């Protein structure tokens, strides 16, 4: 799933900007207030529950998006290409340099993956021990995360804004275009991802492990991810349009997305942390997979039940209430 769903969510986040901004600068204050809310919530979430939090980054990038949102379509297309090609070129060059150093300079870089303090704290540490370890891990990876994921996410934001202007996921959605997305995205993107993943695994298991090859394959997987993300988007749209099954559950989870996202972290933190059930590193892969599915399904079902009485979840309500003073007056 490397990069695929992250970019898909980034695209949808950019798409949602149109519902908030409504192509009017009078709504800019509300957007900025929402971004600050996400930054604060994301920081708390990253430290106390999940160091892989995306809310903090989304909040920061939402502020950056204000510099682009009211630009022309042509400008957004140019910047999306610059961000994508620039970040892809940067990491490709770095991978090539690593490979060159190993092959021609005799540098044995070995496997550079190291364990963090969180790996030791999770099984037996207290709630605040884990929080300290997450804070250390999150701050140490900020720069790397911004370069690797931030630039790509911002590019996906811009593509989402362009799609929103054309209402491509609503009245403007064309079955032929979605079918092309599904065919090309899944038909080409899936083989690339499967082949790249197999080669990556072979390199990591090899006695002649190469850091340059490892990073090069990682770059291939990450920067070809938008192709498969597009396939997922088109395929899911076609399935839902044809069968209609699961629309209610997915729609409810979407309207409660913030609450569902945080709920997953609460559930998984309790199950795997030492202060909870302490299951970290003790379960088989199949059981971990079932737990991961359940951690999404339970909050999604609760969201579906809550939809009978309310339009959104508790965190969505908090976001709306907090940013209400910044809403433009009619």
pLDDT tens across 91-146, in order?
888 888 888 887 777 665 555 555 678 878 888 888 998 899 888 888 887 777 77
What tokens does 29 get?
Answer: 């204050």
Q: In this model, does residue 310 exceed pLDDT 70?
A: yes
Q: Which residues of 198-211 are buried (b: 16+ CB within 10 A; e: fewer)?
A: ebbeebeeeeeebb
What is residue 108's predicted lDDT score, i.e. its pLDDT?
58
pLDDT digits (tens, 9 = 90+) for 64-89: 999 999 999 999 999 999 998 888 88
pLDDT at 330 exceeding the cut of 70: no
Q: What pLDDT, on the 0 to 100 scale, is given for residue 270?
A: 93
Give the DSSP letter of residue 149.
Answer: I
How does DSSP assign 150-198, residue by residue?
Answer: IHHHHHHHHHHHHHHHTTTTTTT--HHHHHHHHHHIIIIIHHHHHHHHH
Predicted confidence at residue 122, as pLDDT, reads 84
> Rounded to whole angstroms, how far apart are CA atoms 41 and 17?
19
- Per-residue pLDDT of 15-30, as tens digits, reads 888 888 877 788 888 9
Structure tokens, 262: 């945080």
Mean pLDDT, to the nearest integer, of 197-209? 83
pLDDT of residue 245: 65
- What span, in angstroms and rounded, lies between the C-alpha atoms of 23 and 5? 27
pLDDT at 261: 93
Phi, psi of 156 (to 5 degrees): -65, -35
Q: What is the crossing angle of helices 247-255 and 285-306, to 10°?
A: 80
The pLDDT score that the predictor gives to residue 249 is 82
Tokens representing 98?
Answer: 């690593």
pLDDT exceeds cutoff 60 at 240: yes
**C-alpha to C-alpha distance for 190 and 192, rounded to whole angstroms:** 5
pLDDT at residue 38 tops 90: yes
Give the pLDDT of residue 250: 81
């Amino acid at each position: 799933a490397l990069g695929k769903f992250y970019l898909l969510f980034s695209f949808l986040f950019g798409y949602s900007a149109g519902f908030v901004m409504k192509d009017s600068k009078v709504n800019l204050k509300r957007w900025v207030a929402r971004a600050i809310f996400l930054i604060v919530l994301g920081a708390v979430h990253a430290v106390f529950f999940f160091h892989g939090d995306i809310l903090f980054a989304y909040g920061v990038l939402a502020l950056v998006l204000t510099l682009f949102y009211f630009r022309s379509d042509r400008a957004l297309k140019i910047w999306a290409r610059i961000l994508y090609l620039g970040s892809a070129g940067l990491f490709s060059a770095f991978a090539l340099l690593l490979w060159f150093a190993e092959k021609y300079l005799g540098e044995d870089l070995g496997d550079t993956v190291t364990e963090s303090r969180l790996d030791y704290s999770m099984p037996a540490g207290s709630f605040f021990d884990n929080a300290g370890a997450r804070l250390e891990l999150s701050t140490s990876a900020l720069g790397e995360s911004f370069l690797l994921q931030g630039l790509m996410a911002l590019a996906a934001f811009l593509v989402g804004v362009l799609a929103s202007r054309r209402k491509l996921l609503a009245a403007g959605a064309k079955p032929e275009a979605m079918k092309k997305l599904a065919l090309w995205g899944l038909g080409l993107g899936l083989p690339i991802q499967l082949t790249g993943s197999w080669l990556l695994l072979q390199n990591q298991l090899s006695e002649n492990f190469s850091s340059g090859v490892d990073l090069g394959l990682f770059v291939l997987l990450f920067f070809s991810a938008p192709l498969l993300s597009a396939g997922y988007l088109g395929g899911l749209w076609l399935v839902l349009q044809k069968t209609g099954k699961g629309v209610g559950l997915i729609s409810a989870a979407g309207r409660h997305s913030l609450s569902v996202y945080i709920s997953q972290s609460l559930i998984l933190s309790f199950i795997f942390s030492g202060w909870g059930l302490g299951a970290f590193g003790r379960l088989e892969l199949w059981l971990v997979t079932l737990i991961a599915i359940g951690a999404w399904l339970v909050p999604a079902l609760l969201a579906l039940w809550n939809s009978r009485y309310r339009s959104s979840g508790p965190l969505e309500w908090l976001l709306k209430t907090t940013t209400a003073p910044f809403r433009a007056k009619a």
